[in-house]
A and B are shown apart, each in its own frame.
Chain A
């Protein structure tokens, strides 16, 4: 019968008993939400005017109502900053934050009672503005690490490393085998071994033997001799040492190859999904400028009016210089490729046509002026051709490379003129007509 004492005696002593793990208590700091401060809110610039526009009297509003109105006001402000910046970046038009805010505040004020709307929209905007910055930093870090390598190169590297591993493994195996063989060949066994000097003599004898060469080929025998000579120089201890020296190299290389595979894999995924993700990230912007978002059309309308005004001003005012006109054409190019439809294509084409006409006229005048100023003096006709070429191509200034085709048209018109312009003498005019003809021949017209 098993006694109680015997059971007790088989039990481990208290000190030997496994201890339960101590409970870990973690304290998490609870951050209290910031209390809404009515006083500070009412002092915010523009808030009282906003309440007035919304027909709300701050004296009769409850704290809860002020908080809701403040949420709508703040969100409208954040969104107006986003629109002003985006429109400025894409069109060069600077809209006022206040005028854009007006277009937005009615929308947010109408939704002030929807729980979480203003907060969610603010968070959404914040994330959409902060994320590109975060990604840019990480992408920079990635390209720094990547250096000149591309994912494909990394895969190739992996193959090279793999090959190196195999080579090193084989080398180690050879060393080990040679060492073991050498160990077992000490004493009389060595006599029958090819590393033995007697055997060497035999191999040399075989090498010289024409029938053996004919049977095995000269190179096979020569290689055997070479191998035997090389191995013989190493003591067994050295072979083992060599073999084990290689071992960590193999492990390192294998590890590296494995990691290369991972990096290549990670980069492959990144490359594959980058375009898709970028497109997804653009979704918010597309939404913000689409008719899905109520105030968007009003804001686009503001930018549209300002753009129309600017382009009309450029086309109407003849005092505008070439630099400004070229900027206008560049703006039209930008608007044609923009993802937001600020102005219709036909309207842009009309402005573009008129601006190009003005530019052409300005450049033609510049060519005429330069042509009149080119001196015909002691240098003779050759000098005149050279001056003409150098000056006329610079007629557009730093901003515009004047095409030879346009210069050709002007020179042809100059050549066809029967009488000299008022500013030129008959002699100079005739000499320049001749120089112009020569220049056209030089240019191959």
Chain B
């Protein structure tokens, strides 16, 4: 992400140059938005996958615990 942010900044630095016309700047901005969107989505996905993994593992564990307790009590 550090590299991503650097890339994004480079893209924006170009956009902030005064000698660009609106169309050129617009293209850079749009490119920036796309890159940013991809970066944010990938971060969110990564976090969500980890969260889901931890939840699934714990749910499974708690089901097994209950099952084992039931077996031991019989």
Q: CB-CB < 8 A to B44: which residues of A?
A: 127, 131, 281
Give the interface size bracket for A toward B.
35 or more
Q: CB distance A139 to B43 under 8 Å?
A: no
Give the interface size bracket for B toward A.
35 or more
Q: CB distance B50 to A124 under 8 Å?
A: no
Contact of A263 among B43, B61, B72 (CB under 8 A): B61
Which residue from chain B places its CB closest to the CB of A281 in the assembled complex? B43
* B16 to A: closest C-beta gap in Å: 8
Q: CB distance A138 to B22 under 8 Å?
A: no
Most buried by B among A113, A135, A252: A252
Which residue from chain B places its CB closest to the CB of A114 in the assembled complex? B26
Q: CB-CB < 8 A to A283: which residues of B?
A: 1, 5, 39-40, 43
With A113-B23, A270-B50 in contact, is A259–B41 under 8 Å at CB?
no
Most buried by A among B8, B36, B47: B47
**Chain A interface mostly:** helix
* B17 to A: closest C-beta gap in Å: 13
Q: CB-CB < 8 A to A113: which residues of B?
A: 22-23, 26
Q: CB distance B48 to A135 under 8 Å?
A: yes
Q: Report Cα–Cα, A141/B56, bound state, in Å.
A: 10
Which residue from chain A places its CB closest to the CB of B34 in the assembled complex? A120
Interface residues of A (CB under 8 A from B): 110-111, 113-117, 120-121, 123-124, 127-128, 131, 134-135, 138-139, 141-142, 145-146, 154, 248-249, 252-253, 255-256, 259-260, 262-263, 265-267, 269-270, 273, 277, 280-281, 283-284, 287, 292, 294
Q: What are 25 inter-chain pairs, A to B, with CB distance below 8 A?
A: A111-B22, A116-B30, A116-B33, A117-B26, A117-B30, A120-B33, A120-B36, A124-B36, A124-B37, A134-B48, A138-B48, A249-B71, A252-B67, A256-B64, A262-B60, A265-B57, A266-B53, A266-B54, A269-B53, A270-B50, A277-B50, A280-B43, A281-B44, A283-B39, A287-B8
